Structure 1
Amino acid sequence: MVKLIALYKQPEDQKAFDEHYFNTHAPITAKIPGLRKMEVTKIVGSPTGKSDYHLLCEMYYDSHEALKEAMKTEEAKASGKDLMGFAGELVTMMIGEEVNE
């Protein structure tokens, strides 16, 4: 499995961020063809106290090719446009592979 990972820094207004994220952005993202599973984790702290991060979203795809194809769709473009509009300066995007040792 391949993951597209979005890591969000703390927003100035958590309530407004969460409202938009969970009621607008996540439903748009969930419609992306080829997306197998989407897991959202709210960051509540770190071992040393407060965290600089607010949310982590892991979006699972069958393969790198499946992810590439998904990113070409209108649904992915809509998700990206929305993301840049409300969290462009807060988000770091990464691609990862699950490791089975």
Structure 2
Amino acid sequence: MMKLTVLYPHPTDPAQFDAYYRETHTPLVHKIPGLVRFEDAHVVATPDGSPPPYFLIAELYFDNMESFQAGMASPEGQATAADVPNFASNGATLMICDITS
């Protein structure tokens, strides 16, 4: 199983980020072909008590690399990726992970 992890740093306007993310971006994510699971979470703390480096983490799951690549290359996947600059004022870090357990 493959997982795309998206790490969003703290936005300039958290309320605006959340509203756009929930109302516009998340519905786009759910349209990506081959997506089998989607989770997102606000980061609330770190183990050492330091400020969290990220505001929100999103995880998109696909059965395998082929379905991940096809989903992200699809018009829906491209629209989702192109939408990120519309709300993520400080960008995002993406990591493609092969789940091993």
Would the aligned equivalents of 1:29 and 1:79 in 2 still touch at CA under 8 Å? Answer: yes
- Number of positions where the alignment pairs a residue of Structure 1 with one of Structure 2: 100
Would the aligned equivalents of 2:11 and 2:90 in 1 still touch at CA under 8 Å? Answer: no
Which structure 1 residue ranges, 4+ long, deviate > 2 Å from structure 2?
none
TM-score by length of 2: 0.92
Partner Cα separation in structure 2 for residue 12 and residue 47 of structure 1 = 24
Partner Cα separation in structure 2 for residue 99 and residue 88 of structure 1 = 33
Unaligned runs of 5+ in 1: none
> Alignment partner of 1:87: what SS?
coil
CA RMSD of aligned residues (A): 1.2
TM-score by length of 1: 0.92
Matched, 1:77 2:78: yes
Unaligned runs of 5+ in 2: none
Partner Cα separation in structure 2 for residue 10 and residue 88 of structure 1 = 8
Question: How far 1:88 moved relative to its partner?
Answer: 6.4
Percent identity (aligned): 37
